Amino acid sequence: MSRHPLHPALVHFPVACWSLAVAADFAGIWLGEMAWRWSGGLLAVGCGMALVAMCAGLLELVRVPEGEAMRVAYWHMGLMLTACTLFGARLLLRLDGLQPLVPDVVSLLFDAAGFVCLAIGGWLGGQLVYRYGAGSTRSLSRSVDGSAAP
C-alpha cells in the first residue's frame, strides 16, 4: 500500500464536475441552452471519475480506524454512492439517444438531491481525514472529547 492515499486526490474530479453540472443546469433556467449543454459532459466525466475514486476508496478502507470512524466511513460511502446513482440517473434522463435534453423539473430535483448527498458525503469524508486520521501513515489516538492525544 502506498504512503499517500489515492482516493483524496481523485475525489476532486467528480465533486467539481457534478457541482458544475448542477450549476449549469440551474443557470440554464436563465441563460438557456448555452448553459445547460455543458452539464451532460460534466455529468459523464463526473460519473466516470467517481467510479475510479470509489474503487480507490474501497481499497483504502482498511486504513480507517475501527469504531466511530468506520461508522462515519459507511455513511460517507452510502451518501456518495447515492449521489453517484442520482447523477447517473440524471445523465440518463437528459439523453435522447446521444442528444441532450433540456432540464425539466424532475431532472433539476435529481440535481438538487445529488448535490445535497455530495455535500454531506464530502463533509463526512473530510471528517474521516481531519478528525479520525483516515489515510494517515500515523495512527491518531482520540480522547473522549475528540481532541488528539499526545
Asked if residue 2 has pLDDT above 60, the reply is: no
Residue 21 confidence (pLDDT): 95
Give the total number of structural domains in the chain: 1
Is 45 a member of any domain? yes
Asked if residue 150 has pLDDT above 70, the reply is: no
Is 19 a member of any domain? yes
Could you list the residue range(s) of the whole structural domain that residue 53 is in? 7-130
Is 78 a member of any domain? yes
Task: Name the least confident of 2-11, 98-107, 124-133.
Answer: 2-11
Asked if residue 149 has pLDDT above 60, the reply is: no
Is 149 a member of any domain? no
Cα–Cα dist 25/40, whole Å:
9
Is 138 a member of any domain? no
When comparing pLDDT for 145 and 111, which is higher? 111
Cα–Cα dist 40/28, whole Å:
12
Cell numbers 473522549 correspond to: 144
> For residue 143, what pLDDT band results from cuts at 50, 70 and 90?
very low
Is 117 a member of any domain? yes
Cα–Cα dist 27/102, whole Å:
12
DSSP state letter for 5: -
Count other C-beta atoms under 10 Å from residue 124's C-beta: 19
Is 147 a member of any domain? no
Q: What's the predicted TM-score (pTM) here?
A: 0.84
Is 142 a member of any domain? no
